[in-house]
């Protein structure tokens, strides 16, 4: 698989790939499964018994548990061996993020430390900085945090006012400003802080020791969820930062921030899987115990519908997560073979897949919100009680649509990145889109034939979906040209379509590969049947909303083309969902 021809980020819109060229969770090796089991055992013994105390905002307890995870080597999964880590593959890093994602606010503290608190120094730091900080962050001797957001600079980090002025002798910088929403702020030893040097237009990045004179950490914020996570404002009052603690080059901070955000997005896509599977397991176990009208509620069709839909969305998201994770691994190896060190090769590979990272972030966070909402509903009144884990899961989930760039920003970023990659010549998107639009009545539309194999049918439908996306991109860019950036509603329509395409294709490729490994497995075809059927309808709605909003001279012809391209064969979704739910109910845990 390492020798496969990689698709560039967003290129899936115009090129197909084989199931043989993707990685699926069913291929985890023994070492990966052992690492995942270690994570599960850790949160079961160290986190779950202390959830109530953590939710009371016990900073020291959270710090203690985070440090304990270092004793098992969990903080070093992503870090090179020469700095005390295990140097695991990106797929393994994502599996670790997924497994620990079931640990509620602990997962936020852990990911902030081992991800955005450590990796900027590993990826952009010099050797001295790596030795001074990364080696201690891996062991838990130091706890890290990441300080980007300011009261007046959220989605636009370059609007930040925090400023650094070089000293006359050049030995240090004088740092002044304020940061907010800094995770781990209450107990972190190191901070990656973004500030503008003098009158620079763009940010630079600094490693700041929390104990430095002039660093003032405020009290923890009172939050809706993730209450165990320390989130506070930090004030910098004439803080002396050694010049040796400038991270990367002067003015490179904005690039560092953006690339770390890509990493945060893609890993968030993994962590929500763990939270989702935990909520599904809690829900089915409750449904298998709770009786109403003299029968278990698991026997009711309405409950089965909910359980099945939770599984379908989670399984589909998981398919996309590990598809792109392997792509990242392959690209890392390619960059390393070209002479890049592992740190830069890794962050550049992650940043390359910016489109897919945004998809995983948006789809995953909204998938989890759906799952935890239905989990509360299945629990009924008990789901609203703080006694139940699903109540905590419901509150904790909500931040994911805001973390790592809001979903609104990510939807627009997704489309914008696809178009920019095409404009710079990464792939021939606009010409293919224009050719389709030239003759709307002559578009080659896949229609199912009785002789077509199962996966031929699914790939045909997904190919039709891709053509819808291309037609809309063509219509929108022709109509609005440079003003398209101001048509956010239409960009959202296109973004939603692109997301559905990537998730549906990833799911289809996974089910195909499962069958090549295990033989035909009906339950996974049920998941795929329902997902593609539903996706086609969602895509049709989003596409027509965009068409009627664009209102160009081809509206009628576009309507006809989209209507035909979004047609799929009927699916008995009731029976398919019941079979999915019945397997979940029988297993009494998420086991897909």
Active site residues: 404
Paired strand residues for 144: 190
- Tokens 């990464």 locate to 426
Longest Cα–Cα distance of the chain, Å, equals 81
Q: Is 59:186 a contact under the CB 8 Å cutoff?
A: yes
Paired strand residues for 147: 193
DSSP output for 443-504 = -------TTS-HHHHHHHHHHHHHHHHHHHHHHHHHHHGGGGGG-HHHHHHHHHHHHHHHHH
Torsion sign over Cα 310, 312, 313, 315: positive
Q: Residue 221 and residue 324: Cα distance in Å, rounded?
A: 35
Q: Is 279:590 a contact under the CB 8 Å cutoff?
A: no
Q: Is 177:195 a contact under the CB 8 Å cutoff?
A: yes
Instruction: Compute, in degrees rounded to 10, the torsion defined by CA atoms 220, 371, 25, 5.
Output: -90
Q: Residue 415 and residue 401: Cα distance in Å, rounded?
A: 18
Q: Where are the alpha helices (DSSP H) in 101-222?
A: 105-111, 119-124, 127-129, 135-139
Q: Residue 410 and residue 413: Cα distance in Å, rounded?
A: 5
User: 573: which residues sit within 8 A by CB, 6+ positions away?
Assistant: 529, 530, 533, 534
Contacts by 564-569, CB closer than 8 A, 24 or more apart: 564/445, 565/443, 565/445, 565/464, 565/465, 565/467, 565/468, 566/464, 566/465, 566/468, 566/536, 566/537, 566/539, 566/540, 567/447, 567/464, 567/536, 568/461, 568/532, 568/533, 568/536, 569/448, 569/457
Percent of residues in the chain assigned helix, strand, coil, to nearest 5? 65, 10, 25
């Amino acid at each position: 698989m390492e020798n496969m021809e990689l698709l560039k980020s967003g290129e899936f819109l115009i090129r197909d790939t084989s199931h043989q060229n993707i990685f699926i969770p069913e291929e985890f090796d023994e070492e990966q499964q052992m690492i995942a089991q270690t994570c599960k055992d850790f949160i079961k013994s160290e986190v779950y018994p202390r959830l109530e105390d953590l939710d009371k905002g016990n900073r020291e307890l959270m710090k203690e548990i985070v440090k304990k995870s270092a004793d098992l080597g969990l903080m070093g999964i992503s870090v090179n061996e020469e700095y005390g880590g295990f140097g695991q593959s990106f797929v393994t890093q994502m599996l670790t993020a997924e497994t620990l994602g079931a640990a509620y606010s602990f997962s936020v503290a852990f990911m902030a430390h081992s991800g955005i608190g450590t990796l900027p120094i590993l990826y952009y730091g010099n050797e001295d900085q790596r030795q001074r900080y990364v080696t201690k962050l891996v062991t838990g001797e130091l706890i890290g945090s990441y300080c980007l957001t300011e009261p007046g600079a959220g989605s636009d980090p370059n609007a930040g006012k925090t400023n650094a002025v070089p000293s006359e002798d050049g030995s240090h910088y004088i740092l002044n400003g304020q940061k907010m929403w800094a995770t781990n702020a209450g107990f972190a030893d190191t901070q990656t802080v973004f500030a503008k040097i003098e009158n620079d237009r763009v940010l630079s990045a600094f490693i700041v020791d929390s104990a430095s004179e002039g660093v003032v950490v405020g009290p923890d914020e009172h939050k809706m969820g993730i209450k165990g996570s320390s989130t506070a404002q930090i004030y910098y009052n004439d803080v002396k930062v050694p010049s040796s603690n400038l991270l990367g080059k002067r003015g490179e901070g904005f690039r560092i921030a953006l690339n770390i955000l890509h990493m945060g997005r893609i890993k968030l896509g993994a962590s929500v899987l763990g939270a989702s599977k935990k909520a599904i397991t809690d829900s089915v176990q409750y449904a298998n115990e709770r009786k109403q009208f003299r029968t278990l509620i698991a026997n009711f069709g309405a409950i089965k519908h909910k359980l099945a839909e939770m599984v379908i969305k989670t399984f589909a998201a998981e398919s996309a997560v590990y598809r792109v994770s392997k792509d990242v691994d392959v690209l890392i190896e390619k960059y390393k073979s070209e002479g890049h060190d592992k740190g830069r090769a890794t962050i550049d590979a992650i940043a390359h897949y910016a489109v897919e990272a945004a998809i995983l972030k948006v789809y995953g966070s909204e998938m989890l919100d759906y799952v935890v909402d239905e989990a509360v509903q299945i629990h009924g009144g008990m789901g609203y009680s703080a006694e139940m884990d699903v109540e905590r899961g419901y509150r904790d989930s909500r931040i994911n649509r805001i973390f790592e760039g809001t979903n609104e920003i990510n939807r627009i970023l997704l489309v914008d990145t696809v178009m920019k990659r095409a404009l710079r010549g990464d792939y021939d998107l606009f010409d293919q889109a224009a050719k389709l639009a030239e003759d709307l009545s002559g578009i080659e539309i896949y229609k199912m034939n009785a002789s077509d194999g199962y996966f031929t049918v699914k790939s045909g439908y997904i190919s039709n979906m891709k053509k819808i996306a291309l037609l809309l991109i063509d219509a929108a860019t022709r109509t609005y040209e440079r003003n398209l950036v101001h048509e956010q509603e239409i960009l959202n329509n296109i973004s939603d379509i692109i997301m559905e395409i990537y998730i549906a294709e990833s799911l289809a490729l996974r089910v195909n590969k499962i069958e090549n490994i295990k033989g035909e497995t009906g339950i996974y075809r049920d998941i795929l049947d329902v997902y593609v059927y539903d996706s086609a309808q969602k895509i049709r709605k989003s596409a027509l909303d965009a068409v009627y909003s664009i209102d160009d001279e081809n509206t009628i012809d576009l309507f006809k083309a989209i209507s035909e391209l979004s047609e799929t064969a009927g699916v008995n979704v009731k029976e398919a969902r019941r079979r999915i739910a019945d397997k979940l109910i029988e297993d009494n845990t998420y086991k897909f």
